[in-house]
Structure 1
Amino acid sequence: MKARLAASAALALGIAIGGSGCAMLTYQATTEKYDPSDGVSADVGALDVRNVLVVSDEGDEGNLVIYVTNTGTDDETLSVQFVDQGDTFEIDVDGGETVSLGTADEEPLLIENLDAEVGGLVSVYLQAGSAEGVEIQVPVLDGRLPEYEDLVP
């Protein structure tokens, strides 16, 4: 009887460990950072730059869509430079605030000499204060999707 009880307890323990130990050994994809939209993201010092993309009709001029959150308490300025085009923009972000540009509710941030292919990528260099700058590859989209049709310059 004791052997049967010990075997049952060992079996129950094996099932419990086998059923719950999987999460301990398996790769957890939900812990990875990813961009949930069409744009790309980067962190530059205290600035979190999110969902960066360019909306363009023909690729000759575009609207930069960008969200910048200042996670610090000091005011910061984000420098956005289009590497191949030479256009540079300065975006001021107060401490603890978020700035969105190029959206339907905000004025477009126009890149006049874009010279890019719709569906391609453009190189953008981001710099804030003394933090190390970051170069990102930003997608160029057109207005075929309903969420972007009002953003085409």
Structure 2
Amino acid sequence: MKARLAASAALALGLALGASGCSMLTYQATTEHYDASDGVSLDVGDLQLRNVLVVSEDGEDGNLIMTVVNNGDDDVELGVQFGEGGGDVQTIDIEAGSTVAFGVDAAESEEQLEPLLLEGIDTQPGALLTMYFQYGDAEGIDKQVPVLDARLPEYADLAP
């Protein structure tokens, strides 16, 4: 009787470990951040830039599409450059505690602005455009931003 009880307990323990052991030992992909859309994301100081992408028809000019969240207590002037050698800096004013959407449909609580025109990107749709984002004393970040065309319906009206 004791042998049967011990065997049942061992079997129950083995089943419990077998059923739960995978989650103890296996890598959990859900703990990793990923960009669930076509664009890329980055953080520059107190700013969170989400779903950053460029829409272009001809690869010469493109519209910068993104949402910027300023979690800081200060208004900032975000500088944006594109290309390997830098180039002209476009600046964008972002108020403290605000969320600003450039070229995308914004929720009612967000400010929505037109896309930012980038002239002379010289990057064909399907490729990546090197961009640099920086403000104030925050460390700037280089990021490879996807360049898409207007084939998808959600980008049809966003090409320059």
TM-score by length of 2: 0.89
Q: Aligned partners of 2:48 and 2:38: how far apart in 1?
A: 17
Give the aligned partner of residue 150 of structure 2: 143
* 8 A contact 1:80–1:127 mirrored in 2: yes
* 8 A contact 2:52–2:65 mirrored in 1: yes
Give deviations 1:28-62, integer Å, cap 9, x for gaps.
00111111111111111111111111101101111
Instruction: Identify which range, 117-126 or 100-109, moves more after superposition.
Output: 100-109
* 8 A contact 2:77–2:94 mirrored in 1: yes
Q: CA deviation at 1:115?
A: 1.6
Q: CA deviation at 1:83?
A: 2.9
Matched length? 153
* 8 A contact 1:87–1:111 mirrored in 2: no
Give the aligned partner of residue 107 of structure 1: 114
1:131 match: secondary structure: coil
Give the aligned partner of residue 16 of structure 1: 16
Give deviations 1:77-107, integer Å, cap 9, x for gaps.
2211113461322122222211111225631
Supply the RMSD in Å over aligned alpha carbons. 1.5
Q: Aligned partners of 2:131 and 2:22: how far apart in 1?
A: 42
What is the aligned-residue identity percentage?
62
Instruction: Identify which range, 54-63 or 76-85, moves more after superposition.
Output: 76-85
Q: Aligned partners of 1:34 and 1:27: how far apart in 2?
A: 15
Q: Aligned partners of 2:134 and 2:113: how far apart in 1?
A: 22
Q: Aligned partners of 1:59 and 1:101: how far apart in 2?
A: 20
Q: Give, as a single letter, the amino acid of the residue that structure 1 aligns with 2:121.
A: L
1:52 match: secondary structure: strand
Give the aligned partner of residue 33 of structure 2: 33
Q: Give, as a single letter, the amino acid of the residue that structure 2 aligns with 1:11.
A: L
Unaligned runs of 5+ in 2: 106-111
2:36 match: secondary structure: coil
Q: Aligned partners of 2:24 and 2:136: how far apart in 1?
A: 41
Q: CA deviation at 1:20?
A: 0.8
Give the aligned partner of residue 92 of structure 2: 91
Unaligned runs of 5+ in 1: none
Give the aligned partner of residue 64 of structure 1: 64
Q: Aligned partners of 1:15 and 1:133: how far apart in 2?
A: 52
